[in-house]
């Protein structure tokens, strides 16, 4: 089976390509950056470049689209629409031209916004940023493509925050702050956070290649969810530090500090690690569930706690002498 992975040079994409190759699939990568791990099967291609995307996917049996604009501060803002929505349109036309009947699309739980705890795939949509808004619009593009033929298979996966070795996203930043002794808990710490380990997400994407015609929709979450107090305590124990939380400040004071950094960012044009939206995200409960994954028979290969321990060990306790492949994410 031939699979093209658009965005296959990135954090999740590299893990997915590795897994597919190990499983005997024939794989091609299309990415705006050359793959550090698999340059020989990688074609430089922007998801908006219809000519190149069409050429790359030709001959494939399935396409996985991981490409996205996702940071909080992408400029110009129309890039969200061009990459996430227009890119979806390009992928659908390319698959139609190539006679490809299976697309796997990674959306995001951001389509739900600040959702009630345990929101599943049937939760209400309330995206609060351009990333969530354009991911939701992209889902509609793919659904329209699937609806054109009963033989087409569309898998939409909405992962929660994904972490793992070599990523430089929000979970890594939290782990680094705790490691360096710079972490300050904002609020009571009882808010729960759904997370997903990268190897598990890649495993489920590969698993979903076997799904038949129709629309298959999944949130991806590794259970059980932890509240921030439990998460920070686990990290401290794994690092060999004292158990507990450390310094804690009230939410209103932390949010005020975020607003100050927002103002400084506007004045200086610099991006700071603290902002009001990041404080709000940190202190909110982002807890999701999946009512559909269990029915597929999929079992994640790594527990959430083990994924955290692997990441901490790799990044902070026993790091390799050279970290060649780093991926940046929010």
15 SS3 class: helix
Residue 153 to residue 318: CA distance in whole angstroms: 43
Strands, sheet with 161-163, edge to edge from the N-terminal-most edge strand:
161-163, 192-197, 222-227
Integer CA distances (angstroms), 275 to 72, 155, 279, 330, in order: 10, 34, 6, 13
- Dihedral Cα 51, 53, 58, 62, nearest 10 deg: -150
Residue 233 to residue 32: CA distance in whole angstroms: 39
Integer CA distances (angstroms), 133 to 138, 140, 253, 294, in order: 9, 11, 30, 27
**Hunting for tokens 């793959």 — which residue is that?**
35
Q: Which residues are catalytic?
A: 131
Give the closest residue to 92 by CA, choosing from 66, 68, 69, 63.
63
**Hunting for tokens 């999944």 — which residue is that?**
218
**Hunting for tokens 């997915």 — which residue is that?**
16
Give the closest residue to 113 by CA, choosing from 100, 124, 97.
124
């Amino acid at each position: 089976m031939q699979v093209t992975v658009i965005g296959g040079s990135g954090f999740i994409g590299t893990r997915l390509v590795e897994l597919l190759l190990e499983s005997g699939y024939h794989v091609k990568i299309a990415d705006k950056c050359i793959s550090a791990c698999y340059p020989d099967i990688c074609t430089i291609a922007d998801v908006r470049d219809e000519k190149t995307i069409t050429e790359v996917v030709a001959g494939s049996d399935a396409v996985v689209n991981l490409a996205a604009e996702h940071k909080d501060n992408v400029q110009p803002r129309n890039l969200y629409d061009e990459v996430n929505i227009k890119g979806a349109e390009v992928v659908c036309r390319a698959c139609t031209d190539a006679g490809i009947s299976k697309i796997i699309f990674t959306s995001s739980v951001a389509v739900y916004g600040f959702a009630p705890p345990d929101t599943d795939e049937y939760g209400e949509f309330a995206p609060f940023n351009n990333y969530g808004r354009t991911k939701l619009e992209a889902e509609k593009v793919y659904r329209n493509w699937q609806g054109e033929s009963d033989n087409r298979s569309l898998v939409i996966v909405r992962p929660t925050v994904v972490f793992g070795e070599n990523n430089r996203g929000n979970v890594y930043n939290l782990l680094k702050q705790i490691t360096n002794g710079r972490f300050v808990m904002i609020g009571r710490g009882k808010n729960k956070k759904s997370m997903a380990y990268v190897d598990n997400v890649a495993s489920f994407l590969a698993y979903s290649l076997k799904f038949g015609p129709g629309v298959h929709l999944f949130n991806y979450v590794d259970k059980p969810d932890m509240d921030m107090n439990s998460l920070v305590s686990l990290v401290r124990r794994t690092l060999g530090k004292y158990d507990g939380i450390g310094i804690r400040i009230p939410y209103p004071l932390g949010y005020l500090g975020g607003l100050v950094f927002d103002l400084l960012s506007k004045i200086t044009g610099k991006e700071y690690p603290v902002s009001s939206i990041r404080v709000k995200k940190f202190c909110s409960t982002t807890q999701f569930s999946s009512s559909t994954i269990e029915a597929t028979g999929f079992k994640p290969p790594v527990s959430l706690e083990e994924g955290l321990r692997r990441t901490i060990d790799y990044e902070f306790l026993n790091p390799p002498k050279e970290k060649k492949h780093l991926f940046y994410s929010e």
